[in-house]
Chain A
Amino acid sequence: MRLGFSLARFWAVLAKEFVQMRRDRLTFGMMVGIPIMQLVLFGYAINTDPHNLPTLLEMNDQSPVARAVLANMETSDYFDFQGLVTGPAEGDKALRDGTANFVVVIPADFERDIVRGLSPEILVSADASDPIAVGTAMGALSGIVDLAIQQTLEGPLQSVAGSPPPFSVVAHRQFNPEQASSVNTVPGLLAVILAMTMVLITAVAIVREAERGTMETLIATPVRPLEVMLGKILPYVFVGYIQTGVFLVAAEILFNVPFLGSGWAFFVGFNVYIVVNLALGFLISTMVRTQMQAMQASFMTILPTILLSGFMFPFAGMPGWAQTLGSAIPATHYLRIVRKVMLKGADMADIVGDLRAIAIIGAVIVLISLLRYRQTLD
């Protein structure tokens, strides 16, 4: 009778944990607030395909063709023409001090040179110190110009259309169809959100008992370690479910991210992932003494999760050693599961490899935390 696991005691610990969770407004706010905040930040604010970039114009030719090119640039939404400059010095200054991301120079006698077949050049100077900011706009440029050529060189100018091109843009790049970056970012966010909150909340909740001294009272009672462990951790599985629910609703309503794959595969994947993160939080709680340390240690795990998992930067583009490190992070594999399932329509068979990787990482974490967990205060 004494050695057995007591369901009643386990329920008492569980119920206590829920009451505490309900009273702790900050934690409760974090559970719902962090997913929403991250979704909005990464989905809306952080945009690798920025539009309406401030642009200045040096207009040395007022011809209809020049105006048509500019009109096309403006309607592309990448360029927001905010004013005119009178010469190269003024344009350079605007780029340097950041008032403009682009300066567009239409050369003098632009239309006339086109008609004469001299292939005049439009110069687009970009502030490349933030390559992501200007990259896509630059990429879109040549497409815009092609369009302008088609639209304007009609009637009397028809003769100069065709090859060789009647005029060109100096910053020439391959055209990329416009991509909504939120579709790529949002699924990956689930991996980051769960890693962040599951690890942090679990570690803090467990360390809080030790820090406030209640753990000593608790283990002085006949309660079994397993009852405490499960009773404390299960409520946070529930939290993970809430977060995933918030995430799915927001992804659908706010970002129109498709969900193409198998719901079952998604369900299995996120449960395995939640358990591994809770175990990581538990492991951290065995290594620190205060809630502050628990928080710092949790944030230490979050940095590689964001940077090395393939969430922020393409995994394949990282050097070998970074890929090796990244492979040890649960989020790396979960990220693939979510992207595969949501965007590529994957089912169970497609994610088995990723699930296995997460399970192996989880087994190692559980093993270490069991070795570190003590029944006594030694």
Chain B
Amino acid sequence: MTAGTSARDEIAISVRGLTKVFGKKRVVDDFDMDVPRGAIYGFLGPNGSGKTTTIRMMCGLLTPDGGEGQTLGYDIRTQAREIKEHVGYMTQKFSLYGDLTIRENLDFMARMYRMKQPRKVVDASLVHLGLEGRGDQLAGTLSGGWKQRLALAACMQHKPRLLLLDEPTAGVDPKARRDFWDEIRRLSKQGVTVLVSTHYMDEAIQCDYLSYIAYGKKLIEGPSSEIPAKVGLTTWRVSGPELTQLEDELLADPRVEQVARFGALLHVSSTDAEALDAVIAEQKTKNGTHKWQKKDAELEEAFIYLMATASDNFAGAAKEAAG
């Protein structure tokens, strides 16, 4: 089952200095990443930041213009075929055949991996999906959530050791997304390594590790619990009347970098703790009806901060994240 050296066994994906250039644009620039075996690794970043390109290089669909790396111990430049045998890759949009039935899709994929008894494998997949009676339904007629589950089942049939999921739940409703993630966690428990790209916060917080990429450069990486500290946000939580008005007021203040609403609370954040404390002190004296509470920033705030700064101020975000 195992490949490569024993030292590599702890690492499912390891890439160094990965670079890809399309035309004049460096879509991925000097990118490093280590994905520990068995982890759920979240790959975050705004649209067009290079997530898909990176994943494609990791499974041998694209040749890097620079850098090197191994996936499951196989070289990403020279051993793409071996990688493909052991990796399950789910592309961004539903990409099974809409004009084939559910059974035909599963059967086709099983045959692409030369499964010994495709019929048995497909039957098992249908039972697992709970679609035993609907095998002859055209895949194109399934709902978005079901399509994703079918695509996941299709790329799990050959029992890959690594799952690469490229925004698997884009455009899928929240209930279906939760079901999908239950499945991912179940697979992870069985020892499958999962690398998943997303720009949903509720998915990011389910990951063991996170890596954040913007404009082709990695800005931040680490275990999920360490990400808020790395981003370095100070956050105040405030509750009370007329929060919308307060939100507008705070947003107008240049010392406040982020105001996010969570139910009946506003989370007010900045990377400059002293400046933020000063703002809050002013607010307290001006307006006594609100309850203020200082807290360590959590992943939610860090996530919102990263998504916002990267999309409208790449240079600033890069500097801050590096600092």
Measuring CB to CB, which residues of chain A are less than 8 angstroms from any residue of chain B?
2-3, 6, 8-9, 12, 16, 19-20, 23-24, 212-214, 216-223, 376-378
Contacts and interface: CB of A to CB of B under 8 A. Distances in A.
A377 B112 contact: no
A213 B138 CA distance: 17
B314 interface: no
20 contacts: A2-B82, A12-B112, A16-B100, A20-B97, A23-B99, A23-B100, A212-B95, A213-B91, A213-B93, A216-B91, A217-B89, A217-B96, A219-B61, A220-B84, A221-B113, A222-B84, A376-B61, A377-B62, A378-B62, A378-B63
A28 to B, nearest CB: 12
Contacts of B82: 2
A2 B81 contact: yes
B93 A16 contact: no
Contacts of A216: 61, 91, 95
Contacts of B241: none
A377 B95 contact: no
A129 B118 CA distance: 68
A5 to B, nearest CB: 12
Interface stretch (B1-9, B103-111, B202-210): B103-111
Contact of B97 (A3, A8, A16, A220): A16
Contact of A9 (B92, B100, B112): B112
Nearest to A213: B95
A212 B100 CA distance: 13
Given A217-B89, A377-B56, A222 B99 contact: no
A221 B112 CA distance: 6
A67 B232 CA distance: 110
A91 to B, nearest CB: 62
B60 interface: yes
B61 A377 contact: yes
Contacts of B62: 376-378
Interface string B21-37: 00000000000000000
- Residue among A6, A20, A218, A220 having the largest count of chain B Cβ atoms under 10 Å: A220
Nearest to B20: A378
A9 B49 CA distance: 35
A260 B253 CA distance: 92
